[in-house]
Chains A and B, each alone.
Chain A
Amino acid sequence: MAELKKTDEPVDATPNVSEVDVVDAHSEEEAVAAIEAPVERGEPILQVRNLVKHFPLTTGILFKRQVGAVKAVDGISFDLYQGETLGIVGESGCGKSTVAKLLMNLERATAGEVFYKGQDITKLSGRALKAVRRNIQMVFQDPYTSLNPRMTVGDIIGEPFEIHPEVAPKGSRRQKVQELLDVVGLNPEYINRYPHQFSGGQRQRIGIARGLALNPEIIICDEPVSALDVSVQAQVINLMEKLQDEFNLSYIFIAHDLSIVRHISDRVGVMYLGKMAEIGTDTQIYDHPTHPYTQALLSAVPVPDPDAREGRERVILTGDVPSPANPPSGCRFRTRCQKAQDKCAEEVPLLAVPEVFKGLDSPVAHESACHFAEEKDVVHAV
């Protein structure tokens, strides 16, 4: 752990991370009260600080010995503001989904904090944790496996009420479920059907209705549309945007489809091998990327315009993402980076506004974890 602390120095107060207003709760009641207090629009609702998750690698059957760790998430910090959508993009294996699980407290963090309204949820338990979980819900990627095939739609959407009966008293549950079906654009009469009777898009709507059941404040969406057909994706994205306005939700939107992330997000974070490579508003990331990984990722996305293929310069990365069990020293991207120099192998670049852009009043000045950050517009390239 000591080693980690050295490399992950706390980041200065920057537009991305704000001062955490820690609420000191001495009893469970106080903690619950803090969790239930409302948050103003535009204030941070979730503050993640140096979050780390290492999965141990062990050998031996009886006498397990730890031989290493898969460093799935290795020190990331960001804020989520009330009412905004934060997009997280990255290749498979970069730790996006682990972050989602850590924010839900489905996995215990190895180190670091997640503050929800000033309460560190990694240390909560009992009633206070239950109250937090009510307010942070999740929509999963695969609508075929995330719904129990033996339960009716009514049971699936109503199940959260069993755990949190205060939201809907027993008598009104059925009606509440029907309202939810209506909200997500499904016929309320479908309440007794089973998941297999629905198409992929409709199933994802059921998943969203389940996420909405407890009136949460944050919904974490882990690749919510990647399993859907193109013509249905747009329907689900529109529904999610409508619900955000209606219920004042904050979204963390994890996806690998960069054009959809841009459409829905206010801010975007780019992850690589358990670290945040670059974070900023959608314009800053898409039009003024300064990290070479972001540039490569953006240029690899096929543009649905055949006229673009002749002139577009594409940075094609070689090789695969290195194993998170044994990440490269220094900057983790250096093994695939064209700009890599000796410094990159020795020093871990911090996620901060690069020196060269500091003080500039332009979209280039955003946080980027690269020693040699330089702007390059790859989306509209000549």
Chain B
Amino acid sequence: MTIIDKTADVPAPREAGSDGVPLLEVRDLHVEFHTREGTARAVNGVNYSVSAGETLAVLGESGSGKSVTAQAIMGILDMPPATIPRGEILFHGEDMLKMSGEERRKIRGSRIAMIFQDALSSLNPVLSVGYQLGEMFRVHRALSRKEAKAKAIELMDRVKIPAAAARVGDYPHQFSGGMRQRIMIAMALALEPDLIIADEPTTALDVTVQAQVMELLADLQREFNMGLILITHDLGVVADVADKIAVMYAGRIVETAPVHELYKRPAHPYTRGLLDSIPRLDQKGQELYAIKGLPPNLTSTPPGCAFNPRCPKAQDICRTDIPQLFPVTERDGGELAGRGSACHFWKETIHG
């Protein structure tokens, strides 16, 4: 029995003299893939930031560029075929894209860590989990095998794997799906990073296990005051844990908002469509709202707003002009902190 309440204790920023510099800031990031079929623009000018202790949820369908952005932050994109023609990724104010490979390697794993979706294929099947957990300490902290093993047991205890000392020598296939995801979390936490990127951490899990894993992640985040970027397509999970949300569509951020605001008053037709397509109790027996059409092919995104062929509100301007991320305000012009919408008609969408 746990009452999940994350908003009550907003943690203080981790760095004492952080003078308002966010932990991570992505500015105008572009990622392209050069393929035989043409250039796929997977990420087209993404901006977002995360502070210590904050949870940013990146919401989007497959092919929206949410995972590619995360891989660019981690520096694990395959280049080529991928290129980053423009953009900055500032970590503690320093642009990681300008760093040398050696500098980035020091950050990766120890200061920014990632949790992958499919724990079975992300863990090495021929090495014991203890060895894989201990590797973090051996490589980054130069600990001996024995010390690393002791640390691995400690970590497994921390993520509540029963009988950790006995299971440290077990192989990934000997664990259940939920336990494997815990090991992934333990691995990400090993060196107490400042930022964790979780790419669909619970998509492959059952709801009961999903609840366990999300709760564990939230507890650990609070304990270490980490920043968390949660990449998902599940509107329910987002509502449960996020502080702010960035909605992505065809490589762009189409809406940003604090979590409560977004669910109450979406300012982009795509977000509204997603929220409307959730089955609700009072709509039983009626047709579900469905966004018509399909997500666009990234090698040939439609001109203008990428969402225009599927949008019920599309006008001529939407087919020619790419909308900026406009700041969203109240009807009377009052400021709404952290809100933005990349829609020419955001006023009509949010204010009816």
Q: A78 to B228: give the CA distance in the assembly, Å.
A: 45
Q: Decide yes or no: A300 and B207 within 8 Å by CB, A230-B277, A234-B290, A316-B212 being known contacts.
A: yes
Q: Does B239 contact A309, Cβ atoms closer than 8 Å?
A: yes
Q: A320 to B291: give the CA distance in the assembly, Å.
A: 37
Q: Does B212 contact A317, Cβ atoms closer than 8 Å?
A: yes
Q: Does A300 contact B290, Cβ atoms closer than 8 Å?
A: no
Q: A304 to B240: give the CA distance in the assembly, Å.
A: 8
B235: A residues at CB distance < 8 A: 230, 304
B6: A residues at CB distance < 8 A: 309
Q: Does A302 contact B237, Cβ atoms closer than 8 Å?
A: yes
B177 to chain A, nearest CB (A): 8
Chain B 172-199, CB within 8 Å of chain A: the 1/0 string? Answer: 0000111100000000000000000000
A231: B residues at CB distance < 8 A: 61, 273-274, 277, 290-291, 295
28 residue pairs from A and B, CB less than 8 Å apart: A91-B206, A199-B294, A202-B294, A229-B61, A229-B62, A230-B277, A231-B274, A231-B290, A235-B290, A235-B291, A237-B288, A238-B287, A238-B290, A241-B287, A262-B284, A297-B207, A297-B208, A302-B239, A303-B236, A303-B240, A304-B235, A305-B263, A306-B263, A310-B7, A312-B4, A313-B3, A316-B215, A320-B179
B111 to chain A, nearest CB (A): 29
Q: A263 to B176: give the CA distance in the assembly, Å.
A: 31
B206: A residues at CB distance < 8 A: 91-92, 256
Chain A 234-272, CB within 8 Å of chain B: the 1/0 string? Answer: 110110010000000000000010111011000000000
Q: Scan residues 282-302 of chain A and give those whose CB is less than 8 A from a CB of chain B.
A: 282, 296-297, 300-302
Q: Does A263 contact B7, Cβ atoms closer than 8 Å?
A: no
A306: B residues at CB distance < 8 A: 239-240, 242, 259-260, 263
Q: A297 to B209: give the CA distance in the assembly, Å.
A: 10
Q: Does B209 contact A320, Cβ atoms closer than 8 Å?
A: yes
B282 to chain A, nearest CB (A): 11
Q: Does A304 contact B236, Cβ atoms closer than 8 Å?
A: yes
Q: Scan residues 289-305 of chain B and give those whose CB is less than 8 A from a CB of chain A.
A: 289-292, 294-295
Q: Scan residues 231-270 of chain B and give those whose CB is less than 8 A from a CB of chain A.
A: 233-242, 259-260, 263
B215: A residues at CB distance < 8 A: 316
Q: Does B2 contact A316, Cβ atoms closer than 8 Å?
A: yes
B234: A residues at CB distance < 8 A: 302
A314 at the interface (CB under 8 A from B): yes
Q: A259 to B274: give the CA distance in the assembly, Å.
A: 14
A259: B residues at CB distance < 8 A: 278-279
Residue of A nearest to B64 (CB): A229
Q: Does A233 contact B236, Cβ atoms closer than 8 Å?
A: no
Q: Does A307 contact B260, Cβ atoms closer than 8 Å?
A: yes
B1 at the interface (CB under 8 A from A): yes
Q: Does A234 contact B260, Cβ atoms closer than 8 Å?
A: no
Residue of B nearest to A286 (CB): B281
Residue of A199, A201, A259, A300 with most partner-chain B CB within 10 A = A300
B83 at the interface (CB under 8 A from A): no
Q: Does A201 contact B2, Cβ atoms closer than 8 Å?
A: no
Q: A315 to B210: give the CA distance in the assembly, Å.
A: 13
Q: Does B275 contact A229, Cβ atoms closer than 8 Å?
A: no
Residue of A nearest to B162 (CB): A319
Q: Decide yes or no: A230 and B274 within 8 Å by CB, A300-B208, A308-B239 being known contacts.
A: yes
A304: B residues at CB distance < 8 A: 235-236, 238-239, 263, 275, 278
Residue of A259, A302, A307 with most partner-chain B CB within 10 A = A302
A356 at the interface (CB under 8 A from B): no
Residue of A nearest to B207 (CB): A300
Q: A313 to B5: give the CA distance in the assembly, Å.
A: 10
Closest 7 CB pairs of A and B: A302-B236, A263-B279, A234-B290, A234-B277, A300-B211, A231-B291, A304-B235
Binding site for A on B (CB under 8 A): 1-8, 61-62, 176-179, 206-212, 214-215, 233-242, 259-260, 263, 273-275, 277-279, 281, 283-284, 287-292, 294-295
Q: Does B211 contact A263, Cβ atoms closer than 8 Å?
A: no
In the complex, which of the residues A232, A318, A320 contacts B176, with contact meaning CB atoms closer than 8 Å? A320
B207: A residues at CB distance < 8 A: 91, 256, 258, 297, 300-302
A241: B residues at CB distance < 8 A: 287
10 more A-B residue pairs beyond the given contacts A91-B208, A91-B209, A316-B212, with a C-beta to C-beta distance below 8 A? A91-B206, A233-B277, A256-B207, A258-B207, A263-B284, A297-B207, A302-B210, A304-B235, A304-B278, A309-B240
A303: B residues at CB distance < 8 A: 236, 239-240
In the complex, which of the residues A229, A232, A282, A305 contacts B239, with contact meaning CB atoms closer than 8 Å? A305
B228 to chain A, nearest CB (A): 16
Q: Scan residues 164-192 of chain A and give those whose CB is less than 8 A from a CB of chain B.
A: none
A92: B residues at CB distance < 8 A: 177, 206
A133 to chain B, nearest CB (A): 31
Q: A12 to B235: give the CA distance in the assembly, Å.
A: 42
A228 to chain B, nearest CB (A): 9
Q: Does B279 contact A262, Cβ atoms closer than 8 Å?
A: yes
Q: A316 to B3: give the CA distance in the assembly, Å.
A: 10
Q: A233 to B237: give the CA distance in the assembly, Å.
A: 17
Q: Scan residues 190-233 of chain A and give those whose CB is less than 8 A from a CB of chain B.
A: 199, 201-202, 229-233
Q: Does B3 contact A230, Cβ atoms closer than 8 Å?
A: no
B211: A residues at CB distance < 8 A: 300, 302, 314, 316-317
Q: Does B236 contact A263, Cβ atoms closer than 8 Å?
A: no
A267 to chain B, nearest CB (A): 13
Q: A46 to B186: give the CA distance in the assembly, Å.
A: 48
B299 to chain A, nearest CB (A): 14
Q: Does B179 contact A232, Cβ atoms closer than 8 Å?
A: no
A300: B residues at CB distance < 8 A: 207-208, 210-211
Q: Decide yes or no: A314 and B5 within 8 Å by CB, A238-B287, A263-B288 being known contacts.
A: no
In the complex, which of the residues A258, A302, A309 contacts B5, with contact meaning CB atoms closer than 8 Å? A309
A317: B residues at CB distance < 8 A: 208, 211-212
Q: A282 to B281: give the CA distance in the assembly, Å.
A: 10
Residue of A nearest to B279 (CB): A263
Q: Does B236 contact A301, Cβ atoms closer than 8 Å?
A: yes
A302: B residues at CB distance < 8 A: 207, 210-211, 214, 234, 236-237, 239-240
Residue of A nearest to B278 (CB): A304
Q: Does A314 contact B1, Cβ atoms closer than 8 Å?
A: yes
Q: A282 to B285: give the CA distance in the assembly, Å.
A: 12
Residue of B177, B206, B236, B292 with most partner-chain A CB within 10 A = B206
Q: A238 to B277: give the CA distance in the assembly, Å.
A: 11
Residue of A nearest to B310 (CB): A231
Residue of A nearest to B258 (CB): A306
Residue of B nearest to A90 (CB): B206
Q: Does B240 contact A234, Cβ atoms closer than 8 Å?
A: no
In the complex, which of the residues B1, B7, B209 contacts A313, with contact meaning CB atoms closer than 8 Å? B1
Q: A229 to B233: give the CA distance in the assembly, Å.
A: 8
